[in-house]
Amino acid sequence: MNTRLPAMLVVTALLGGCATFSEDGGSTAVNNALASRGLQQAAPWIRSAGEAERAATETGKLLAQPLTADTAVRVALLNNRGLQARYAELGIAEADLVQAGRLTNPGFGFGRLHRADVVEYERAFIFDLMGLLTMPLRTRVEGERFAATQNRITAEILQVAADTRRAWIRAVAAQQTASYAAQVQSAAEAAAELARRMAAVGNFSKLDQAREQAFYSEATTQLARARQSAVAEREALTRLLGLWGAATAFRLPERLPELPNELPTQLREIADIEGTALAQRLDVQAAARDAEALARNLGLTKATGWFSVLEGKYMRNSESGDPRQTGWEIEMRIPVFDSGSARVARAEHLHRQAVNRAADLAVRARSEVREAWQAWRSSYDIARHYREEVVPLRARISEETLLRYNGMLMSVFELLAESRQQIGAVTEAINAQRDFWLADTTLQFAMTTRSPGMVSAATPQAAATTAARPGH
């Protein structure tokens, strides 16, 4: 016994120190999850000067051309510092996982007692038996927490990608609207000048001249607002891209992408959409993992509820003039005042809370994806109606009006009045096209990530994390 126990303790201590860090820190699993949810651009975790330099070089190449929605997302994944800060949480979670796979450092005690001419020496090697017994459970709990952190980081990356895509859509639409408003203002200025000249020679009433001047003033105001909106939307995109200095002079396309002629077949049936949401949404998966992790933690708490401290000691004592004394002892806390029932009750309530939260989230996920799908479908129908009906009809009316004006059947100001009607139709068509692409991004996010309203899944994960800590 005297020789086997130290050997056993040494072996177990060595095994407890075998837990190591992975080379990628868990980022490969994150990128695989991103790819499975339609985000083809990798989200690099920049941890060295060389990686930062390569990211800057790639960013420069992407900014040399007008930014598309996809290249804007890629730039955001390379430069968004908030995203890199979230990546650090992955390293923290992995450190906790590695720590859970390592035993508490053994202790060594030494004592010297003196009685008359007799000197007594006591030596003790202290080992945490409770830590050894609960290591598999603790490692599994921290492994679940690490997986939950990977899940959360994946959701954060998809959130940045979706926000960047939406910001790009708004910025391009605002720029397109401002460009059209400049054309409208220029035409209104010419009409107001013509009205002034015709009124000066008596060919136009003061009332009609005032109307043209008022329209010119309104067009000037609308142009100023459109330009300010374009600046604000561009700056919102710039923040997500993580750009500053000369890099903020990036170029955007002049127009939004055209509407698809047909909707994707895989998005036409609402039943398929709900099934995809329940299978892929990260917040639903995170809630399920939380419930499982808390169930395991409940088992750990019940197993250790009576004995919070269990230590083993190998002892080797000597006394002058007597043979050496060797042996071992086990030390445990007696559950006189605290039987652990409060810790068990707390763990049971946390588990029950997580189960109910997961069920509630599944119900809300179904509802949210149905709402997002309906908004996506409606916005497509509206935008297509403007493209195929309203704008062409207004164009035909303008053409007929122009023919009558050329035949001297209508005045120039009747022609201008019709042009003002066309202005509203074109502006609404741009807005409808913008709304469709925004709804398309929101639907994809609602199907694969989490609530479009950004309902955070941090609360259940925090509970699971707290419950997994020593002492809970």
- pLDDT mean across residues, the chain: 77
* Helices of type H across 264-326: 270-280, 282-303
Closest by CA to 118, choosing from 323, 321, 316, 324, is: 321
Mean pLDDT calculated for residue range 141-166: 87
Tens digit of each residue's pLDDT (9 = 90 or more) over 136-146: 777 877 887 88
pLDDT at 413: 62
Q: Is the pLDDT of residue 458 over 90?
A: no
Mean pLDDT calculated for residue range 148-172? 91
HSE at residue 336, side-chain half, CA atoms within 13 A, is 3
CA distances to 211, 402, 448 from 419, in Å: 14, 10, 44
Residue 70, token pair as written in the block: 């996809």
The tally of CA atoms less than 13 A away on the side-chain side of residue 73 is 20
pLDDT at 106 over 60: yes
User: Alpha-carbon distance 229 to 177, whole Å?
Assistant: 9
Query: Percent of the chain at pLDDT above 70?
Result: 74
Higher-pLDDT residue of 402 and 206 is: 206
Cβ–Cβ under 8 Å, residues 144 and 292: yes
Residue 235 in tokens: 């700056």
Reported confidence tier of residue 300, pLDDT bands at 50, 70, 90? low
Q: Where are the domains of the chain?
A: 259-305+346-472
Quote the pLDDT of residue 410: 63
Mean pLDDT of 195-220: 84
| Burial class (CB within 10 angstroms; exposed 0-12, middle 13-18, buried 19+) of 117 | exposed
**Of 55-59, 90-94, 224-228, 287-291, where does mean pLDDT reach its minimum?**
287-291
Q: What is the pLDDT of residue 471?
A: 38
- 457, pLDDT greater than 80: no
For residue 465, is pLDDT > 50? Answer: no
Predicted pLDDT at 146: 85
d(CA 423, CA 430): 11
Average pLDDT on 25-50 reads 84
Could you tell me the pLDDT band of residue 111, with boundaries at 50, 70 and 90?
confident
Spell out where 16-155 has E strands: 107-115, 118-128
Does residue 304 register a pLDDT over 90? no
What is the pLDDT confidence band of residue 447, given thresholds at 50, 70 and 90? confident
Nearest to 440, CA basis, from 258, 189, 301, 298: 258
Q: Which pLDDT score, from 0 to 100, does residue 89 have?
A: 86
- Tokens 């390592």 correspond to what residue? 102
d(CA 225, CA 297): 57
What are the angstrom distances between the C-alpha of 414 and each of 187, 202, 403, 418?
14, 18, 12, 6
Q: How far apart are CA 321 and CA 152, in angstroms?
A: 66
- Any long-range contacts for 226-235 (C-beta under 8 Å, 24+ apart)? 226/174, 226/177, 226/178, 226/181, 227/178, 227/181, 229/174, 229/177, 229/178, 230/171, 230/174, 230/175, 230/177, 230/178, 232/174, 233/167, 233/170, 233/171, 233/173, 233/174, 233/175, 234/171, 234/174, 234/175
Distance CA 126, CA 23 (A): 34
Q: What is the pLDDT of residues 404-445, one digit of tens each?
A: 766 666 666 666 666 667 788 888 999 999 999 999 999 988
> What is the pLDDT at residue 173?
95
Per-residue pLDDT of 225-281, as tens digits, reads: 999 999 999 999 999 999 988 889 999 999 999 998 887 766 666 767 777 777 778
Tens-place pLDDT, residues 319-341: 555 666 666 555 555 554 445 56
Residue 252 CB partners (closer than 8 Å, separation 6+): 66, 67, 168, 171, 172, 175, 234
Query: For residues 53 and 131, which has the higher predicted lDDT (pLDDT)?
Result: 53
> Is pLDDT above 70 for 287?
yes
Of 14-18, 23-27, 140-144, which gets the smallest average pLDDT?
14-18
pLDDT the model gives residue 397: 77
158: Cβ contacts below 8 Å, ≥ 6 apart? 34, 37, 39, 282, 445, 448, 449
Residue 461 has pLDDT above 50, yes or no: no
Q: Count Cα atoms within 13 angstroms, Cβ side, for 178.
A: 18
Looking at residues 289-317, what average pLDDT do you find? 58
Interatomic CA distance for residues 86 and 458, integer angstroms: 13
Whether 45 shows a pLDDT value over 90: the answer reads: no
Give the whole-angstrom CA distance, residue 24 versus residue 133. Answer: 30
CA distance 451 to 443: 10
Structure confidence at residue 1 (pLDDT): 41
Predicted local confidence at residue 13, as pLDDT: 47
Q: What is the pLDDT of residue 299?
A: 62
pLDDT at 331: 55
Task: Look at 377 and 308; give whichever has higher pLDDT.
Answer: 377
Q: What's the pLDDT at 22?
A: 77
DSSP secondary structure string for all residues of 373-428:
HHHHHHHHHHHHHIIIIIHHHHHHHHHHHHHHHHTTSS-HHHHHHHHHHHHHHHHH
pLDDT: which is higher, 453 or 75: 75
The answer to which of 195-204, 424-433, 450-459 has the lowest mean pLDDT is 450-459
How far is residue 217's CA from residue 270's CA, in Å, rounded to a whole number? 48
